[in-house]
Chains A and B, each alone.
Chain A
Amino acid sequence: MIRAQLLSLLIRVFSTAAGKSKYWLPIKPATDIALLLAWMNVLITEGWYDKEYVEQYTYGFEQLKKHVKTFTPEWAYGITTIKPDVIRKTAREMFNAAPAVIVHPGRHVTWYGDDTQRLRSVAILNALLGSWGRRGGFYIGEDKGIPDFPHPEYPKPTRDWRDAFPGKYQLADLALANGICDATIPAAGRDCSFKGWIVNGTNLIFTLPDMRNTLKAIESLDLMVVIDTMPMEITGYADVVLPECTYLERYDMVRTSKHREPTIALRAPAVEPKYDSKPGWWMAKELGHKLGLDEYFKYKDIKEVLDWQLKKVGSSLDEMKRIGVKKFDREDGGHLYFDKGEDLEFFTNTGKIELYSTALEAEGFDPMPKYTAHPEPPEGYYRLNYGRAPMHTFSRTANNPNLTDLMDENVVWVNPKVAKVWDLKTGQEVWLENQDGIVSTFPIKVRVTERIRWDSVYMVHGFGHKNEKLSRAHGKGASDSELITNVMVDPIMGGTGMRGNFVTFHVDKPEKGGLL
Chain B
Amino acid sequence: MRYAMAVDTKKCVGCSDCVVACQTENDVSIGYCRDWVVEINHGTYPQLETEIRSERCNHCDNSPCVRCCPTGASHYSDGGTVLVTKNKCIGCSACIESCPYDARYTHPDGYVDKCTFCLHRVKKGMQPACVAVCPTKCMYFGDLDDPNSSVTKVLKIRNYKVLAPEAGTKPNIYFLI
Min distance, Cβ B24 to any Cβ of chain A, angstroms? 7
Binds A, one of B39-47, B90-98, B104-112: B39-47
Minimal Cβ-Cβ distance residue in A for B20: A402
Min distance, Cβ A372 to any Cβ of chain B, angstroms? 25
Instruction: Give bound CA distance, A402 to B33, whole Å.
Output: 11
**Are B46 and A24 in touch, CB under 8 angstroms?**
yes
**Are B16 and A16 in touch, CB under 8 angstroms?**
no
For window 10-47 of B, CB contacts with A under 8 Å fall at 10-11, 13-16, 19-20, 23-24, 30-31, 33, 41, 43-46
Q: Which of A24, A390, A449, A454: most chain B CB closer than 10 A?
A: A390
Instruction: Give bound CA distance, A19 to B48, whole Å.
Output: 8
Q: Chain B interface mostly helix, strand, loop or mixed?
A: mixed
Instruction: Collect the chain A residues with CB atoms within 8 Å of residue B14's CB.
Output: 16, 390
Task: From the candidates B24, B49, B51, name the one contacting A402 in the complex (CB within 8 A).
Answer: B24
For window 1-47 of A, CB contacts with B under 8 Å fall at 1, 14, 16, 18-20, 24, 26
Asked if A135 is at the interface (CB within 8 A of a chain B CB), the reply is: no
**Are B20 and A26 in touch, CB under 8 angstroms?**
no
Instruction: Collect the chain A residues with CB atoms within 8 Å of residue B48's CB.
Output: 14, 18-19, 24, 450-451
**Are A16 and B50 in touch, CB under 8 angstroms?**
yes
**Are A406 and B19 in touch, CB under 8 angstroms?**
yes
Minimal Cβ-Cβ distance residue in A for B46: A26
Asked if B52 is at the interface (CB within 8 A of a chain A CB), the reply is: yes
Task: From the candidates B15, B43, B52, B157, name the one contacting A450 in the complex (CB within 8 A).
Answer: B43
Asked if A403 is at the interface (CB within 8 A of a chain B CB), the reply is: yes
Knowing A402-B24, A450-B43, say if A391 contacts B50 (CB, 8 Å): no
Instruction: Give bound CA distance, A1 to B16, whole Å.
Output: 28
Minimal Cβ-Cβ distance residue in B for A24: B46
Asked if A301 is at the interface (CB within 8 A of a chain B CB), the reply is: no
Instruction: Give bound CA distance, A269 to B50, whole Å.
Output: 40
Instruction: Collect the chain A residues with CB atoms within 8 Å of residue B24's CB.
Output: 402
Asked if A427 is at the interface (CB within 8 A of a chain B CB), the reply is: no
Q: Mark B70-108, 1 if CB is under 8 A from A, else 0.
A: 000000000000000000000000000000000000000
Instruction: Give bound CA distance, A19 to B14, whole Å.
Output: 12
**Are B13 and A16 in touch, CB under 8 angstroms?**
yes
Asked if A242 is at the interface (CB within 8 A of a chain B CB), the reply is: no
**Are B13 and A449 in touch, CB under 8 angstroms?**
no
Task: From the candidates B20, B45, B49, B52, name the one contacting A16 in the complex (CB within 8 A).
Answer: B52
**Are B49 and A450 in touch, CB under 8 angstroms?**
no
Q: Which of B24, B44, B45: most chain A CB closer than 10 A?
A: B45
Task: From the candidates B23, B30, B52, name the one contacting A19 in the complex (CB within 8 A).
Answer: B52
Instruction: Give bound CA distance, A166 to B19, whole Å.
Output: 51
Asked if A453 is at the interface (CB within 8 A of a chain B CB), the reply is: yes
**Are A406 and B52 in touch, CB under 8 angstroms?**
no
Minimal Cβ-Cβ distance residue in B for A390: B15
Q: Mark A436-458, 1 if CB is under 8 A from B, else 0.
A: 00000000000001111110000
Min distance, Cβ A285 to any Cβ of chain B, angstroms? 33
Asked if A78 is at the interface (CB within 8 A of a chain B CB), the reply is: no
**Are B13 and A14 in touch, CB under 8 angstroms?**
no
**Are B30 and A391 in touch, CB under 8 angstroms?**
no
Asked if A304 is at the interface (CB within 8 A of a chain B CB), the reply is: no
Asked if A405 is at the interface (CB within 8 A of a chain B CB), the reply is: yes
Instruction: Collect the chain B residues with CB atoms within 8 Å of residue A26's CB.
Output: 45-46
Task: From the candidates B13, B23, B49, B157, name the one contacting A1 in the complex (CB within 8 A).
Answer: B157
Instruction: Collect the chain B residues with CB atoms within 8 Å of residue A18's CB.
Output: 48, 50
Instruction: Give bound CA distance, A405 to B36, whole Å.
Output: 11
**Are B20 and A19 in touch, CB under 8 angstroms?**
no
Asked if A401 is at the interface (CB within 8 A of a chain B CB), the reply is: yes
Knowing A1-B157, A14-B50, A406-B20, say if A391 contacts B41 (CB, 8 Å): no
Q: Which of A1, A16, A452, A453: most chain B CB closer than 10 A?
A: A16
Min distance, Cβ A20 to any Cβ of chain B, angstroms? 6
**Are B15 and A391 in touch, CB under 8 angstroms?**
yes
Instruction: Give bound CA distance, A449 to B45, whole Å.
Output: 9
For window 347-402 of A, CB contacts with B under 8 Å fall at 390-391, 401-402
Q: Mark A316-340, 1 if CB is under 8 A from B, else 0.
A: 0000000000000000000000000
**Are A390 and B45 in touch, CB under 8 angstroms?**
no
Instruction: Give bound CA distance, A24 to B46, whole Å.
Output: 9
Q: Which of A14, A452, A454: most chain B CB closer than 10 A?
A: A14
Asked if A246 is at the interface (CB within 8 A of a chain B CB), the reply is: no
Min distance, Cβ B36 to any Cβ of chain A, angstroms? 9
Instruction: Give bound CA distance, A391 to B30, whole Å.
Output: 15
**Are B15 and A452 in touch, CB under 8 angstroms?**
no
Minimal Cβ-Cβ distance residue in B for A454: B45
Q: Which of A402, A452, A453: most chain B CB closer than 10 A?
A: A402
Instruction: Give bound CA distance, A24 to B14, whole Å.
Output: 19
Asked if A309 is at the interface (CB within 8 A of a chain B CB), the reply is: no
Instruction: Give bound CA distance, A16 to B49, whole Å.
Output: 10
Q: Mark B129-147, 1 if CB is under 8 A from A, else 0.
A: 0000000000000000000
Asked if A117 is at the interface (CB within 8 A of a chain B CB), the reply is: no
Instruction: Collect the chain A residues with CB atoms within 8 Å of residue B10's CB.
Output: 20
The 20 sampled A-B contact pairs (Cβ below 8 Å) are A14-B48, A16-B52, A19-B50, A24-B46, A390-B13, A390-B16, A402-B30, A405-B23, A405-B33, A406-B16, A406-B20, A407-B16, A450-B41, A450-B44, A450-B45, A450-B48, A451-B41, A451-B45, A451-B48, A453-B46
Interface on A for B, CB 8 Å cutoff?
1, 14, 16, 18-20, 24, 26, 390-391, 401-403, 405-407, 415, 449-454
Across the A-B interface, the 6 shortest Cβ-Cβ residue pairs: A19-B50, A26-B46, A390-B15, A450-B45, A406-B16, A402-B20
Interface on B for A, CB 8 Å cutoff?
10-11, 13-16, 19-20, 23-24, 30-31, 33, 41, 43-46, 48-52, 157
